[in-house]
Structure 1
Amino acid sequence: MNIREYREKLEEKILSKNAKLSCESKGREKNEKKCDIRTEFQRDRDRIIHSKAFRRLKHKTQVFLSPEGDHYRTRLTHTLEVSQISRTISRALQLNEDLTEAISLGHDLGHTPFGHTGEHMLNKLNKKGFNHNEQSLRIVTFLERRKEKEKGLNLTYEVRDGILNHTGEKIPVTLEGQLVKICDRVAYINHDIDDSIRGNILNIRDLPKDSIKELGETHGNRINTMIKDIIINSKDNNYITMSEEIKYYTDKLRRFMFENVYYNKKAKREDGKAEYLVEQLYNYYINHIDKIPFEFRDNPGDIDDFVCDYIAGMTDRYALKKFNNIFVPSPWEE
């Protein structure tokens, strides 16, 4: 018995009856020889961590565009916080922590530069629409390369499903995927409050008093309350949920954030410029498709897909650089 087989047997012994066992995965689109050391979900996690798309998340906006301070969240730190919260609950519920981690780390790979501002603009410009979760799936299916001539990361069905359905109305097929879906919200509500207070967009006294009373006055206390509530109300169930009370106060806090931060004119004062930048890049590449690297054009889809693939893959600073190179004249040098 090799290490991977030992781990699979161990999963059968210690995981909940509702967990997704590695040995019971629906598998990959292309069959591969199994690893002697890692389970299928461990391999998926490693492939995501080593991908270029994952590394680019460190320079992509979470809420505040290209913040000067070192302590503001980026799309990468958001991803890591989702992963940690999800893993804590997954372990407590005896779910498959490797599957949970793989979905967590891959869920936002398709996010655009400038956060949801970039996403909304690409959705407006592309006649077929654009959603970051669908783009995340497209990245792991086609755009990333593990080998020079092999498209995609060839992830398991369960990880791909969790990535695609981490947002939206569809429910992931595994409890691990459902867990990431709810922990994504737990993470961004709380860390966006933290960043908004740091950025002088909010004062702690502005937050809904009843939500703060029930959930906690500090960042850590609120997350702890939500984590414990999810564990208590999901234990031994075939679904992941919060209690009605904690869900009510969490949703109220989320609505407050939309009204006072996500749509706040001060926090979003640069969004109009970001929208203009993305729109100009889109129109330019639609008319200059040869300027897009071949690796983006060598995939299923049409011109709109290739342009979205290229722009969505850009970091904030790379998008700014491309815009300046294309549209801003350079000074004359003798």
Structure 2
Amino acid sequence: MKIREQIEQREKEILSPFASLASDSKGRKVFEAKCDIRTEFQRDRDRIIHSKAFRRLKHKTQVFISPEGDHFRTRLTHTLEVSQIGRTIARALNLNEDLVEAISLGHDLGHTPFGHTGEAILNELHPRGFKHYEQSLRVVDFLEHNKNRQGLNLTYEVREGIINHSGKCPSRSLEGQIVKLSDRIAYINHDIDDAIRANIIDERNLPKDCIEVLGSSHGVRINNMILDIVNMSLNKNEVKMSPKIGEKTEKLREYMFKNVYYNNIAKSEEKKAEYIIKELYKFYLKSPDEMPFEYQYSYSLENSSLEDRICDYIAGMTDRYVIHVFENLFVPKPWEKY
């Protein structure tokens, strides 16, 4: 028996009857022979980690645009925190950790530079709109190439979890539902941590009723949210919070929107970020030949519009690279005579 088959057999023996088994995966768009060692979900995790889009997350904004200091979260550290929280919940519920990890690591690959500011601007500019979770699926399905140029060719279950990690549609798998909750737990709590570090909010001003229920520190709140999900979801075909914890979590989220995400100090650079993305978008509409060659013409595997390809190019940029491109295009350089 191959090592992969031994792992698959253990999953059948150990995991919850509600778990997604790697051996029962609906498969990939393009058939591939299975690995002797890794399950299908483990292979997906590895493909995401080794992708260029994953590496670029380390230079993409989480909340604070180009923050000074080494301890503010980036899109990459956020992704790792989501993965850690998700795996903890999955293990406690006897669900498939590998699937949770793969979805977690891939869920934000389509995020733009400058965080949700960049997403909002591209959504405004593109005729059909722009959503980062849709772009994440586009990244793994198409924009990241393997040797056969078929995207990463991930399994149905990982792709379904990525597209449904945000928005109103729940994932069909419990593992996907875990990622959706883990994403919220991670960003609410680490954004509080970063906002306090940046002197945007004072810890003493957090909603008292939320703190009394959820906890007074970063670690305690995360632990209590996880414990609540586990207690509410163990041996059930749904992953959810209790009404009480869910209500206080949502109230804390609303507090963050009002006092951090829409805060004038935290968003002091937002207008500049908006301007950069708008100007690049308009420039490439007029001069598509200024984009890298692979974005200049409709992709061979699909009928992509120019607007699609501009969004692909800009959304894939890191914060520092989009600034570099803008400077090269619009900022005059000193003339030097040698």
TM-score by length of 2: 0.97
Partner-residue secondary structure (3-state), 1:150: coil
Shift of 1:287: 1.2
Query: What is the rounded CA distance, in whole Å, between the counterparts of 2:195 and 2:16 in structure 1?
Result: 39
| Corresponding residue of 1:42 | 42
| Corresponding residue of 2:116 | 116
Q: Does 1:307 align with 2:324?
A: no
Q: CA RMSD in A?
A: 0.8
| Corresponding residue of 2:277 | 278
| Corresponding residue of 1:82 | 82
| Corresponding residue of 2:28 | 28
| Matches for 1:1-334 after TM superposition, within 5 Å | 1-147=1-147, 149-296=148-295, 297=297, 298=299, 300=302, 301-334=304-337
- Alpha-carbon deviations, 1:166-220, whole Å to 9, x = none? 0001111100001100110000000000000000001101100110111111100
Structure 1 letter corresponding to 2:134 = E
Query: What is the rounded CA distance, in whole Å, between the counterparts of 2:98 and 2:230 in structure 1?
Result: 18
Partner-residue secondary structure (3-state), 2:281: helix
Structure 1 letter corresponding to 2:5 = E
Gaps of 5+ in 2: none
Partner-residue secondary structure (3-state), 1:95: coil
Gaps of 5+ in 1: none
Structure 1 letter corresponding to 2:181 = I
Query: What is the rounded CA distance, in whole Å, between the counterparts of 2:44 and 2:269 in structure 1?
Result: 37
Query: What is the rounded CA distance, in whole Å, between the counterparts of 1:212 and 1:64 in structure 2?
Result: 24
Query: What is the rounded CA distance, in whole Å, between the counterparts of 2:196 and 2:149 in structure 1?
Result: 45
Structure 2 letter corresponding to 1:45 = R
Structure 2 letter corresponding to 1:176 = E
Query: What is the rounded CA distance, in whole Å, between the counterparts of 1:79 and 1:303 in structure 2?
Result: 30
Query: What is the rounded CA distance, in whole Å, between the counterparts of 2:161 and 2:214 in structure 1?
Result: 27
Shift of 1:295: 2.7
Partner-residue secondary structure (3-state), 1:151: coil
Query: What is the rounded CA distance, in whole Å, between the counterparts of 1:250 and 1:239 in structure 2?
Result: 18
Partner-residue secondary structure (3-state), 1:145: coil
- Alpha-carbon deviations, 1:111-131, whole Å to 9, x = none? 000000000000000001000
Query: What is the rounded CA distance, in whole Å, between the counterparts of 1:294 and 1:138 in structure 2?
Result: 19
TM-score by length of 1: 0.99
- Alpha-carbon deviations, 1:35-77, whole Å to 9, x = none? 0000000000000000000000000000000111100000000
Structure 1 letter corresponding to 2:306 = I
Shift of 1:290: 1.4
- Alpha-carbon deviations, 1:281-301, whole Å to 9, x = none? 001111111122233342521
- Alpha-carbon deviations, 1:309-334, whole Å to 9, x = none? 00000000000000000000001101
Partner-residue secondary structure (3-state), 1:35: coil
Query: What is the rounded CA distance, in whole Å, between the counterparts of 2:177 and 2:249 in structure 1?
Result: 17
